[in-house]
Amino acid sequence: MKGSEKVIDALNGGLTIELTAINLYFIHAKMCNDWGLFELGKHFYEESMEEMVHAEKVIDRILFLEGVPEIARYHTIKVGKTPEEQIANGLELEMVGQRAYNEGIKVAVEEGDNGTRDLMSRLLIETEESVDWAEAQQELIKMIGLQNYLQQRTGSISNPGASDGEA
């Protein structure tokens, strides 16, 4: 089914964010695991996998609309050197995604593509949940202090995303 170029462009914009987020969260998971912050590493690993599912859905929709998925486009991947920076960088990227999906929904409605509108609406909700998580972590750090926050994020070494030799 031939889709609107405007809609395909909006979908590719979302794909760019999803592909960036996969990499951002994956490296943050590996870094947290290396630091012994296994619970936080597990969260970032699960976010990376969730973003991969999102990317797959967006790619499938682009292909359904007979478009070409732009898989080589990325935003800058801002690797956080500390857990605080990692949370802030994730929040920043999720907010970019939130704006992109809101704009994409408008384009889809204008172009009469309710299937894409529905997909982007679902992805927007999940993006908003990620924004909420990051904002809550930042607030928690303010309330209990960084050291207490990090102490609560050590968890168990058996979490997903641990290196082969760590599990």
Is 163 within the bounds of a domain? no
Crossing angle (nearest 10°) for helices 38-64 and 83-110 = 20
Is 53 within the bounds of a domain? yes
Residue 39 labelled as part of a binding site: no
Q: Which of 5-14, 49-58, 144-153 is least confident? A: 144-153
b/e map 33-63, b = 16+ CB within 10 Å: beeebbebbbbbbebbbbbbebbebbbebbe
Classify residue 156 by burial, with Cβ atoms within 10 Å: 0-12, 13-18, 19+.
exposed
Residue 70 labelled as part of a binding site: no
Report residue 167's pLDDT band, with 50, 70 and 90 as the boundaries: very low
Residue 128 labelled as part of a binding site: yes
Say whether pLDDT at 165 is over 90. Answer: no
Residue 111 labelled as part of a binding site: no
Is 105 within the bounds of a domain? yes
Say whether pLDDT at 159 is over 90. Answer: no
Tell whether the torsion through CA atoms of 102, 106, 107 and 111 is positive or negative. positive
Per-residue pLDDT of 135-145, as tens digits, reads 999 999 999 99
Is 159 within the bounds of a domain? no
Is 135 within the bounds of a domain? yes
Note whether 33 and 162 are within 8 A (CB).
yes
Residue 43 labelled as part of a binding site: no
Work out the mean pLDDT of the chain and round it to a whole number.
Answer: 94
Is 161 within the bounds of a domain? no
Is 97 within the bounds of a domain? yes
Inter-residue long-range contacts of 100-104, CB under 8 Å, 24+ positions, other chains counted = 100/10, 100/13, 100/14, 100/17, 101/14, 101/127, 103/10, 103/13, 104/7, 104/10, 104/11, 104/13, 104/14
pTM assigned to the model = 0.90
User: Which CATH number characterizes residue 62's domain?
Assistant: 1.20.1260.10
Rounded Cα distance between 119 and 107, Å, is 13
Report residue 76's pLDDT band, with 50, 70 and 90 as the boundaries: very high
Number of domains within the chain: 1
Rounded Cα distance between 100 and 72, Å, is 18
Which structural domain, as residue segments, surrounds residue 142? 5-153
Is 162 within the bounds of a domain? no
